[in-house]
Amino acid sequence: MLNINLIPIERRKKGFPVHKLYILGVYLVLATTLLLWGYNLFMFKYSEAKLKNVQEGVASLHLWQERFELNQLQNSELKKRGDIVTTLSKSRILWSDYLADLGNVTPYGVWLTSVSQDASKANNITIEGNALKMEQLLTFINNLQNDPKVSAVALIKTQTAKAAGNSSVDISHFIINVTRNGGQTSAK
């Protein structure tokens, strides 16, 4: 059976235009692609501008970074110097106190000519002096041994000589090593 449509073309019922649907779909995909591309371009330019602002901010902070690093260097140098001063102050003797203590234990007839500190051992002190009589020197050594700040006293040398200016008076020249207590110095 054969069907022939004799209705004029303008009145004929047409089928669904699928090709227009395809064209509409292509336009929608194209429009979506353009919108996404435009959004990504906008975000790229926006991020680029923000990055440029941040880089300018970092560049302006470069001077502050240099100052900070210089201050850190100076602080470490000051700390090293402070540590050196602290170490040296621990190894020194507060001579005003120590000489006053020596003056308190030195008997009449004994005079000191030299008091020196050993450079390698801060608590070792060498005392040189003269005494009119050997008993006065022994009293001085006994007074040093009884001092609570002294741990050891050693008589290194004694020598008898005539007093300068008076050849009839004999004096005893002496050298004594004194060790102060336990590594503690009186430095503050």
Strands lying side by side in the sheet with 124-131: 110-117, 124-131, 166-180, 150-163
pLDDT tens-digit profile of 58-110?
A: 888 888 888 999 999 999 999 999 999 888 777 666 677 778 888 888 999 89
Which of 56, 91, 126 represents a domain boundary (last residue)?
91
Q: Identify the residue with better confidence: 185 or 61.
A: 61
If asked whether residues 100 and 147 sit together in one domain, one would say yes
The C-alpha atoms of residue 138 and residue 133 are separated, in whole angstroms, by 9
The backbone torsions φ and ψ at residue 185, rounded to the nearest 5 degrees and listed phi first, read: -105, 165
Same domain, 103 and 146: yes
Within-domain flag for 1: no
**Which residue is listed with tokens 């290194």?**
156
- Is residue 45 very low, low, confident or very high in pLDDT (cuts 50, 70, 90)? very high
Separation of alpha carbons 88 and 181, rounded Å: 18
Same domain, 99 and 73: no
pLDDT at 107: 92
The chain-wide mean pLDDT, for the chain, equals: 86
Please indicate, yes or no, whether residues 84 and 114 belong to a single structural domain of this protein.
no
70 and 120 in a single domain? The answer is: no
Does 108 share its domain with 36? no
Q: Domain range spanning residue 103?
A: 95-183
Give the H or E element holding residue 38.
helix 18-91
Least confident of 21-35, 57-71, 156-170: 156-170
Quick one: 113 and 171 in the same domain? yes
Statement to judge: residues 140 and 162 lie in one domain: yes
First vs last C-alpha separation in the chain: 127
The verdict on residue 105 lying in a domain is yes
The more confidently predicted of residues 14 and 44 is 44
Q: Are residues 149 and 100 part of one domain?
A: yes
In a domain, 66, yes or no: yes
| Same domain for 148 and 114 | yes
Rounded to 10 deg, the angle between the 134-146 and 95-105 helix axes is 130
Domain termination residue (choose one: 72, 91, 110): 91
Q: Which residues of 64-76 are buried (b: 16+ CB within 10 A; e: fewer)?
A: eeeeeeeeeeeee
User: Distance between CA 33 and CA 68 in Å, rounded?
Assistant: 50
The average pLDDT across 17-25 equals: 87
Residues 120 and 42 in one domain: no
> How many domains does the chain divide into?
2
Residue 187: pLDDT band (50, 70, 90) is very low
Report CA-CA distances (Å) from 165 to 73, 108, 110, 130, 161.
63, 20, 18, 15, 12
What is the arithmetic mean of pLDDT over 27-44?
96
Q: How many angstroms separate the CA atoms of 143 and 158, rounded?
A: 18
Alpha helices in 92-165 (DSSP H): 95-105, 134-146
The owner of tokens 């001579």 is 95
Whether 70 is in a domain gets the answer: yes
Same domain for 103 and 164, yes or no, is yes
35, two tokens: 């919108």
What value does the mean pLDDT take over residues 13-39?
90
Query: Confidence band (pLDDT; 50, 70, 90) for 188?
Result: very low
